[in-house]
Amino acid sequence: MGALKALVFDVDGTLADTEMAHLAAFNQAFAEEGLDWHWDVAQYTKLLEISGGKERMLHYWKQVHPDVKDIDGGGLKDTIDRLHAMKTAAYEHAVQSGAVQLRPGVLALIQSAHAAGFRLAIATTTSPVNIAVLLRNAIGPDWKDLFAVIEDASTAPKKKPHPQVYTQTLSRLSLSGADCVAFEDSANGLNAAKSAGLPVIVTPNSFTAHHDFTGALKVLPDLSGATIEQLRSWHAAA
């Protein structure tokens, strides 16, 4: 394995503990639409095994409530799209209100890695709106200047654990997986990155702590103690 050249970050659950805000936003959208759906933490934890908000709602609709009909005679896709737009608006408002913060050590590591000349990338299957509102509030209006590549749900529609978002990120970076380290919080993310050949540092959260992280380069509680020197050492030992 050659020298470490790039760091590739997942967003939801990795850069920030976003899932409680997402859960509240889903439930707000359901209520606004007049649905009797309400996801609790235990249920949402299971639903997170399905990557993607629209996919999660569709799975819930088809598997848990197969008898539910299209709302107001609308098509299934139209209803899901409308619910997702409402949920995204609710999530954006929550982030702008300060409900979501970056996880410990994340900003310091991003800034030090950028200063050290590493290329930084985002590889997520969340929406570009969600990424922008989170990082604009956490880092500032010039947050995009830190990242050489941003791949998201708009560019990589195949959700994790499919490796599409990582293979496209590597292609745009003109690097191999062995040149990078990925940062993830879930088994789906870990498996997506591993499939693309990236060693992975996992920082679980309360929604993913029960996942199987076999094959991870490191499993850490957060990034508060992670330094560039440590990353280089861990990468070299991979």
Do the domain assignments include residue 64?
Answer: yes
Do the domain assignments include residue 1?
Answer: no
pLDDT tens per residue across span 182-221: 999 999 999 999 999 999 999 999 999 999 999 999 999 9
Can you tell me the distance from the alpha carbon of 107 to that of 44, in angstroms, rounded to the nearest whole number? 27
**How many other C-beta atoms lie within 10 A of the C-beta of residue 19?**
20
Can you tell me the distance from the alpha carbon of 85 to that of 12, in angstroms, rounded to the nearest whole number? 18
- If asked whether residues 42 and 136 sit together in one domain, one would say no
- If asked whether residues 123 and 10 sit together in one domain, one would say yes
List strand residue ranges (DSSP E) for the chain, in order. 6-9, 119-123, 149-151, 180-184, 200-202, 218-219
Residue 141: DSSP 8-state: T
Can you tell me the distance from the alpha carbon of 211 to that of 165, in angstroms, rounded to the nearest whole number? 21
- If asked whether residues 173 and 186 sit together in one domain, one would say yes
Q: Residue 74 has what pLDDT?
A: 63
Can you tell me the distance from the alpha carbon of 15 to that of 164, in angstroms, rounded to the nearest whole number? 20
Can you tell me the distance from the alpha carbon of 78 to that of 99, in angstroms, rounded to the nearest whole number? 29
| Residue 144, domain CATH | 3.40.50.1000
Residues that are catalytic: 10, 12
Give residue 26's domain range. 19-96
DSSP H helices in 33-185: 41-47, 53-59, 76-96, 106-115, 128-138, 164-173
Cβ-proximal residues to 145 (8 Å cutoff; 6+ apart), any chain: none
- If asked whether residues 122 and 158 sit together in one domain, one would say yes
170, pLDDT greater than 80: yes
Q: Residue 7 has what pLDDT?
A: 98
- If asked whether residues 83 and 147 sit together in one domain, one would say no
Task: Calculate the dihedral angle through the C-alpha atoms of 155, 55, 74, 25, rounding to the nearest 10 degrees.
Answer: -90
pLDDT tens per residue across span 93-148: 999 999 999 999 999 999 999 999 999 999 999 999 999 999 999 999 999 999 99
- If asked whether residues 190 and 224 sit together in one domain, one would say yes
- If asked whether residues 90 and 114 sit together in one domain, one would say no
Angle ∠(233,203,212) on CA atoms, nearest 5: 105
pLDDT tens per residue across span 12-32: 999 999 999 999 999 999 999
Among the candidates 42, 66, 96, a domain finishes at: 96
Q: Which residue has the tokens 């008898």?
A: 67
- If asked whether residues 79 and 132 sit together in one domain, one would say no
